Amino acid sequence: MKTLVTYLSQTGQTKKVAEAIYGELTGEKELKSISEVKNLEGYDLVFVGFPILQFDVPPVVKTFLSANTKDKNIAIFMTHAVPEGFEAIHSWTGSYEKAAVGANILGAFDCQGELAQPIIDMLLKSDDPQMKAFGEMGPSTKGQPDQSRLQKAKEFAKKIQAKV
Ligand X SMILES: Cc1cc2nc3c(=O)[nH]c(=O)nc-3n(C[C@H](O)[C@H](O)[C@H](O)COP(=O)(O)O)c2cc1C
Q: Is residue 69 near ligand X by the rule CB under 6 A?
A: no
Pairing of strands 28-33, 104-112: unpaired
Near ligand X in 72-111, by CB under 6 A:
79-82
Residue nearest ligand X (C-beta atom): 113
**Does 5 help bind ligand X (rule: CB under 6 A)?**
no
Supply the DSSP string of 39-100, one letter for each residue: --TT-SEEEEEEE-BTTB--HHHHHHHHHH-TT-EEEEEEEESSPTT-TTHHHHHTHHHHHS
Closer to ligand X at the Cβ: 10 or 151?
Answer: 10
Binding-residue pattern over the window 136 to 155 for ligand X, x denoting contact by CB under 6 A: --------------------
Q: Closer to ligand X by CB, 45 or 145: give it.
A: 145
